[in-house]
Structure 1
Amino acid sequence: MIRSRGDAPEIAILGGGIGGLAAAAFLHRAGVPATVYEQAPALSEVGAGLVVAPNAARLLRRLGVLDGLVRDAVRLEVGWEFRRWSDGTVLSAEDLSDRCEQLFGEHTYTAHRAHLLDAIRSAVPAEAIQLGSRCVELALDGSRPRLRFEDGRVVEADIVIGADGIHSVVRGAITEPRPAAFAGIIAFRALVPADRAPEFSQRPAQTLWIGPGHHLVHYPVSAGRFVNLVAFAPAAEQSTESWSATATVEEFLAEFEGWDPRLVDLIRAAGTPGRWGLFDRAPLERWSAFTPSGAVTLLGDAAHPMFPFFAQGAAQSIEDAAVLAQSIADSPHDLAAALRRYEELRIPRTARLQEISHGRAHINHLPDGPEQEERDRAFMEADPLLANGWIYEYDPETAEVATSP
């Protein structure tokens, strides 16, 4: 049995992204202090929008930060609007204007990542965030986990939470260190100023154009001031994962040659697009490891990186944070029990989402033919909002341990 010292465990969170800050915010809400160590000199999330679905929105509301986020977000009226690549025929769409709130108690929004990060940061005490703190070593050979930073500092903690992304240092201490695998898919991304974006792309709708080997997504963000554009294409060679890597408009257009002409106008309005690769990891059976008087665990992309095809990456990090904080608050003097419950509640759900997100690439990218026609018929006959209800209705405060994935 692992027991913490004092009234509350000492907690160190590696990574000041959405998941790491959410963990600090939920722990603070539960009365458990934690310190976030972020290697960058400033907190920032650049270059992309995201979907804030009801399962994330209810947790942001619980933190008291949703109203602030909504001022810089867009409330969607239509979601998962699938369109055929060549002519824009609508195959399926979710009515989010009223029905989403009726079913799940919250609306769905789109937002810039920077605005979501700022909203969550507002729920974390400023003194709990240590910037410019690059961890170069995590040692588990002592009584408690020990962190060594590039500037020479050494920090011990009862719990180290690895919220340090897909290339996590903490993950390598828990399981066999292996590099993430390139998935053979690249993404183009851009934020298009609204005054340059075609009118069809400014609707309060999340639209996905699907076609052979590719798909393209667009929706407004930043209170409608920009249109977020992201598109996926196959690639034989590994691509960088950096947010700062770029492509040319010509490269972007070449990947979508022959698609609906309206998309050409949108791509041309995007300016210099970003370009990055999608990387993959298989689900883990465990997220935690223990020392005689401490523990380390994982959260967010460090634990379960998933393709963005269900728009749940950030939401699952926020869910992780809420469950982990509650588990620690419920068993502050028994870290083994706390982390066991955290894993039992989170691993089956995130593994399922990893699996279906991975499979969505094949579904979205079918070439024209019988399988594509069958997919399109299934889209037209389905109620996508109800079909995805298991994702949106999830509430960590009432969730029960799953008996099967």
Structure 2
Amino acid sequence: MSTPGLSIGVIGGGIGGLSAALSLRAAGFDVHVYEQASALGEVGAGVQVSPNASRILHRLGLGPALARTGVEPLAMHQRRWDDGRTLLRTPLAERLRARFGFPHYQMHRADLLAALAAALPAERIHLGHRLVDVVDHGDVVEARFAGGQRAEVDVLVGADGIHSPVRAALFGPTQPRFTGCVAYRGLVPAERLEHLSLEVTAQIWMGPGRHFVHYFVAGRRLVNFVAVVEQDSWTRESWTDAGDVADALAAFDGWHPQLREILKAVDGTFVWALFDRAPLDRWSSGRVTLLGDACHPMLPFMAQGAAMAIEDGATLAACLADAGAAGSAADPAEALRRYEQLRLPRTARLQAMSAENKTRFHLPDGSDQHQRDALMAAGRTDFSFDAVAWIYEHDAGVL
């Protein structure tokens, strides 16, 4: 069998799974996506699609769809929690396009998911398929689903999130770790906030033990916010639940009036416990591999979680296609090992940087905070233009 004819099953119909399916299909593979839910959907609200991810999506033909609902921010604006003083303002929009060749979008996660799904033939997406077992027979992988459905594929990809059943099947069940942060998330109709004259920027407000992010999505019709608070434990039954706006307001008592106005304008909010996992030593076993949050879940403090999953799919497709071109298509396991060797160091670095930003964003006022602010003013921290170059200039589809 030649590699371009490989059948590939992708477990998970989120952003990572669908974008991987598109990259694999563009490379000539026979791809099917299996999603446990009865309909595709995203619980989250906003997502950042930086040039390293938009480069891939544009190549897949999604440029027009992204432009319809995506918002190109003028800058990444980092500010002090109480007086709103600018700590660092990194230009984006045209300056970013000029340097990296592709745009940075702020999007509603549902809009991005819909664009990805629309680009795949409907018969390639199988809903209501909850994975219960994975059996690698050596020359074929069998995915078994609740209800008795089965699928046999040459390669199986687990794009099924931080609680990945594919990961558990490969390496045994383990629990993700609570990071000591919860996030209140919500969407506010933009007209309710017209009196604030909000800039079209991604604004990050830093303060003691917490931070607040807001930006426009959905063609500037909505303002997305994420309010992150340190918390010792998580006792709810679900890692995402309905939140209380009053609790969020209390957590940001004394913060800049702009943030409190945003919170007061929302109809309702979700509260999420933020979990992560330590980097894995490997992602693959035989003909089975992982991508996205299934293998490298990270805190959202570098705005790279979705981008890394999109990159994973592009590199996976390139490695499998290259294996076929090299004439080593009999066993795709070597291509999967190459994929993880290429991806693991980059994603582990971003996992670590995202975790470090929990400390940097949440420093109490004092000497460490003054030192941080001085470094930011000098442009020597992440999100400054030069500091993100290694992230944004990367082309994950080129080996």
TM-score, normalised relative to structure 2: 0.94
Matched, 1:271 2:277: no
**Which residue is equivalent to 2:289?**
297
Aligned AA for 2:102? E
Matched, 1:282 2:278: yes
**CA distance in 2 between partners of 1:21 and 1:162 (Å):** 12
**Which residue is equivalent to 1:47?**
44
CA deviation after TM superposition for structure 1 residue 198, in Å: 5.0
Alignment partner of 2:16 out of 19, 35, 42: 19
Matched, 1:340 2:337: yes
**CA distance in 2 between partners of 1:85 and 1:7 (Å):** 53
CA deviation after TM superposition for structure 1 residue 327, in Å: 1.0
Alignment partner of 1:204 out of 190, 197, 200: 200
Matched ranges for 1:133-148 at <5 A:
133-140=129-136, 143-148=139-144
**Which residue is equivalent to 1:311?**
303
**CA distance in 2 between partners of 1:158 and 1:213 (Å):** 48
CA deviation after TM superposition for structure 1 residue 5, in Å: 7.5
**CA distance in 2 between partners of 1:364 and 1:346 (Å):** 27
**CA distance in 2 between partners of 1:198 and 1:255 (Å):** 24
Stretch of structure 1 that moved more, 154-163 or 331-340: 331-340
Q: Secondary structure at the match of 2:38?
A: coil
What value does the CA root-mean-square deviation take over the aligned residues? 1.7
Give yes or no for contact 2:183–2:228 (8 Å, CA) kept in 1.
yes
The superposition leaves residues 304-353 of structure 1 with CA deviations (integer Å, 9 ceiling, x where unpaired) of 00100010011000000001011112224131221122112100100000
**CA distance in 1 between partners of 2:323 and 2:237 (Å):** 38
**CA distance in 2 between partners of 1:239 and 1:32 (Å):** 44
Matched ranges for 1:6-405 at <5 A:
8-79=5-76, 81-140=77-136, 143-200=139-196, 202-238=198-234, 245-290=241-286, 295-332=287-324, 333=329, 334-382=331-379, 384-399=384-399
Q: Secondary structure at the match of 2:69?
A: coil
Structure 1 vs Structure 2: percent identity of aligned residues? 47
CA deviation after TM superposition for structure 1 residue 263, in Å: 1.4
Stretch of structure 1 that moved more, 273-282 or 43-52: 43-52
The superposition leaves residues 106-153 of structure 1 with CA deviations (integer Å, 9 ceiling, x where unpaired) of 121100001111111222121111111111122236653222111111
Q: Secondary structure at the match of 2:93?
A: coil
**CA distance in 2 between partners of 1:30 and 1:143 (Å):** 21
**CA distance in 2 between partners of 1:198 and 1:357 (Å):** 32
Give yes or no for contact 1:241–1:276 (8 Å, CA) kept in 2.
no
- Residues 242/218 of structure 1: CA separation in 2 closer, same or farther (3 Å cut): farther
**CA distance in 1 between partners of 2:133 and 2:299 (Å):** 28
Stretch of structure 1 that moved more, 208-217 or 258-267: 258-267
Aligned AA for 2:36? Q
Give yes or no for contact 1:241–1:277 (8 Å, CA) kept in 2.
no
Give yes or no for contact 2:56–2:397 (8 Å, CA) kept in 1.
no
Aligned AA for 1:13? V
Give yes or no for contact 1:160–1:296 (8 Å, CA) kept in 2.
yes
User: How many positions carry a matched residue from both structures?
Assistant: 391
Aligned AA for 1:194? A
CA deviation after TM superposition for structure 1 residue 397, in Å: 3.2
Aligned AA for 1:326? A
- Residues 61/373 of structure 1: CA separation in 2 closer, same or farther (3 Å cut): same
**CA distance in 2 between partners of 1:234 and 1:342 (Å):** 35
Gaps (5+ residues) in structure 2? none
**CA distance in 2 between partners of 1:232 and 1:307 (Å):** 11
CA deviation after TM superposition for structure 1 residue 68, in Å: 1.0
CA deviation after TM superposition for structure 1 residue 191, in Å: 0.3
Give yes or no for contact 2:139–2:154 (8 Å, CA) kept in 1.
no
- Residues 21/243 of structure 1: CA separation in 2 closer, same or farther (3 Å cut): farther
- Residues 106/132 of structure 1: CA separation in 2 closer, same or farther (3 Å cut): same
Give yes or no for contact 2:4–2:29 (8 Å, CA) kept in 1.
no
**CA distance in 2 between partners of 1:395 and 1:241 (Å):** 40
**CA distance in 1 between partners of 2:290 and 2:355 (Å):** 21
Q: Secondary structure at the match of 1:246?
A: strand
Gaps (5+ residues) in structure 1? 400-405
**CA distance in 1 between partners of 2:164 and 2:111 (Å):** 24
Stretch of structure 1 that moved more, 354-363 or 379-388: 379-388
Stretch of structure 1 that moved more, 172-181 or 49-58: 172-181
The superposition leaves residues 352-378 of structure 1 with CA deviations (integer Å, 9 ceiling, x where unpaired) of 000100110001000000000000011
- Residues 186/68 of structure 1: CA separation in 2 closer, same or farther (3 Å cut): same
Q: Secondary structure at the match of 2:386?
A: helix
Give yes or no for contact 1:46–1:243 (8 Å, CA) kept in 2.
no
TM-score, normalised relative to structure 1: 0.93
